[in-house]
Structure 1
Amino acid sequence: MTPTVGRARSRWSDLDRPPLNAAALRSALVWPDGLWTSLEVTQSTGSTNADLLNAARQGSALAGSVLIAEEQTAGRGRLGRSWSAPARSGLFFSVLLEPEPEVPAAHWGWLPLLAGVATATALSRAAGVDTALKWPNDLLVHVDGEERKVGGILAETTTTYDQANAVVLGVGLNVSLRADELPVPQAGSLLLAGAKNTDRDPLLRAVLRSLADWYSRWADSGGDPAVSGVQPTYAAGCATLGRRVRATLPGGRELNGEAVALDGEGRLVIAAADGVRHSVAAADIVHLRAT
C-alpha cells in the first residue's frame, strides 16, 4: 500500500467542494423552446470564453450553448486582467448568444449589464447575499464591512461558422474561497460574505435561469433597456451611482467626478467638478471615499 502521510493534497480532493453534476444541470436547464440548448462541464481549461469563441467559429457550438469549467487556468477579465481561483471554488462559465434579428447590434452593449442584473438578482435569492453592481461589469459584496469584488463579467463578439453575429458572455464568481485563498485583498467570496448557501449546483441553476429570463425580456423588447427593465434595475442596484469616482479612460486620461446616471446606451454619466457631464463608454472605475 502506498503511504499517504505527508502527501500533498490534490486540488480535486477538497470534500467541501464537490463536483458539479452535469447530468442534473442539463435536466434542469436544457429543454425544448428554452434558451439553453446544450450544457457541458469540463474539468479544467484555460478560459471558457476562449473555448466557446473558438467552438462558435468552428461550428461546433450553437446559440444557447453553455460551457462550465471546474477550474480555469487562464481566465480573463476586462482590460486583459487575469481571473484565477482554486478548482471547484467558484462558478466559471460562458454562454453563446445570437441576439439578431430580434436585437440590433446597437443595443448589444447592454448584454454585460444585463448579465450583471441577472446574476445579482439570482444570488440575492439563492445565496441570501446582497450583491451590488459596479459599473460596468463587477459584482460586489460586503465582507467585514468592506466592499469586495466577488465576480465579474466579460462579453466578446464573434462571427460564427455560418456567418451569424454572436456574443459570448463569460461569468466568474468566487463562491467558497477562504480568506487565505483570495488572489488580492480587494477580492471576496460568497462564503466570506455570509452566504446561506454555497452549493454550486443550485447557485448555477439560479443564475442561468435568471439570465435566460432577463435575456428573453430584453430580446422581446427589441433590446430596449427601459422597456425590458434592464436599465432601471441596473441603476437601482448599481453601487457606482451617487459615488465620487475616478475613471481611467482609454489612452490613460483620468476623469474625476460624481457618477450621476446611466444613459440609454449603458454609458456612465460623470459630473465633473466644473459641472460638465461626460458620458463614459469604457473606463476603469475606482470608487473614491467620501471626503
Structure 2
Amino acid sequence: MFSDLERPPLDARFLRGRLVRPGSLWTQIDVLDDTESTNAVVAAAALAGASEGLVVTAEHQSSGRGRLGRTWTTPPRSALLTSVLLRPTAVAAARLPWLGLLVPLAVAAAVRRVGEIPARVKWPNDVLVEDRKLAGILLERVDGPAAVVGFGINVTLRESEKPHPGATSLALEKAATTDRVTVLAAVLRELATRYQTWADADGDPATILPEYRELSATLGRLVRVELPDGTFLEGRARDLDNDGRLLVDTPGGARPLAAGDVTHLRTS
C-alpha cells in the first residue's frame, strides 16, 4: 500500500454510491491499488462480455500508455488513471472517431467546473491549461463497436515530479480542489451526459462540434503537425470536418488530418 498522507486513497464505495444508480450510464466502479494498465483491464473485461458502463481506476500504473505508444507514468495517488467501457452500438462506424473528441471535452468541462481553471482541449485529445498538459486520453476499439476510453489527469503532481517541462497538474495550477473523488465524479458525470446525448443522436457531430470549437486550444492557431509517416506540415488549424478530422490551411491548400502529433506554434 502507498503511504503518502497528502495523497489519500480513492474511496470506491463512496464513488459507487454517488454514480452507480438506476438509469445511470455507470454500472460498476472498481478501484485497483496497482495495475499495469487500466485500459488493458477494461479491454479484457470487454472481450469477456462486460456491460457498458464499467469504470476501472488505479492508484498507480506500472505500464500506463498514452497516444502513439508513449508511456504515462505518475507517482502513486498523484493522478486519476481511469478507463471506461462504452458500447455505442447505434452509432455508425464513420462517426466513432468523434468519441475521441467528446472525452477530452468532458474532462475539460469537469476541470473548469470543479477546479475553476481555464482548461481547454488540444486536438485530438489532450487537455491543456494554456500550453501546459494537464490530461491525456487514449481511445482503443475492442470487440466490434466497443470502445475502451482511458484518461489520465495530473492532480497533485509536484514541480519536482513533472515528467517533462510542459506538464502541469491541478495542484500546480492552484485549482479550487485537488480532491480526486470530487474530480473523478465530475468527469464521469460530464462524460455520461455528453456520451448519452451523442449516442442518442446516432453520433451526430452537431452534438459535439459547437462546444469543441468553444473550448479548443488548437483551432485558429498556427500548428506544426507530425504525421504518422514521420513527415511534417505547418499551417493554421481552421476547423474540424464532419469526420472529426483537423482542417489545416497550408500553402498548398487545406489538408484534412485524421491523426497526427500537433505542436502549437508561437507567433512573434
Secondary structure at the counterpart of residue 202 of structure 2:
coil
1:247 aligned partner: 225
Taking structure 1 as the reference length, what is the TM-score of the superposition? 0.90
Secondary structure at the counterpart of residue 82 of structure 2:
strand
Alignment of 1:49-60 (within 5 A): 49-59=39-49
2:69 aligned partner: 80
- Quick one: which amino acid aligns to residue 232 of structure 1? P
Secondary structure at the counterpart of residue 82 of structure 1:
coil
Structure 2, unpaired ranges of 5+: none
What CA distance in whole angstroms lies between the structure 1 residues aligned with 2:23 and 2:94? 26
Are 1:158 and 2:154 an aligned pair? Answer: no
- Quick one: which amino acid aligns to residue 12 of structure 2? A
1:238 aligned partner: 216
Alignment of 1:1-291 (within 5 A): 12-59=2-49, 61-100=50-89, 102-142=90-130, 147-159=131-143, 165-226=145-206, 228=207, 230-274=208-252, 276-291=253-268
1:8 aligned partner: none
Structure 1, unpaired ranges of 5+: 1-10
Check 1:261–1:165 CA distance in 2 against 1; reply closer, same or farther (3 A cut): closer
Q: How large is the RMSD of aligned CA atoms in angstroms?
A: 1.1
Secondary structure at the counterpart of residue 205 of structure 2:
coil
CA apart distance, 1:165: 2.8
Secondary structure at the counterpart of residue 83 of structure 1:
coil
- Quick one: which amino acid aligns to residue 26 of structure 1? R
What CA distance in whole angstroms lies between the structure 2 residues aligned with 1:165 and 1:192? 38
Secondary structure at the counterpart of residue 39 of structure 2:
helix
What CA distance in whole angstroms lies between the structure 1 residues aligned with 2:179 and 2:52? 27
User: Highest Rg: 1 or 2?
Assistant: 1
The runs of at least 4 consecutive aligned structure 1 residues that moved more than 4 Å come to none
What CA distance in whole angstroms lies between the structure 2 residues aligned with 1:208 and 1:270? 32
What CA distance in whole angstroms lies between the structure 2 residues aligned with 1:289 and 1:42? 41
Same amino acid, percent of matched pairs: 49
1:3 aligned partner: none
What CA distance in whole angstroms lies between the structure 1 residues aligned with 2:8 and 2:25? 27
CA apart distance, 1:273: 2.3
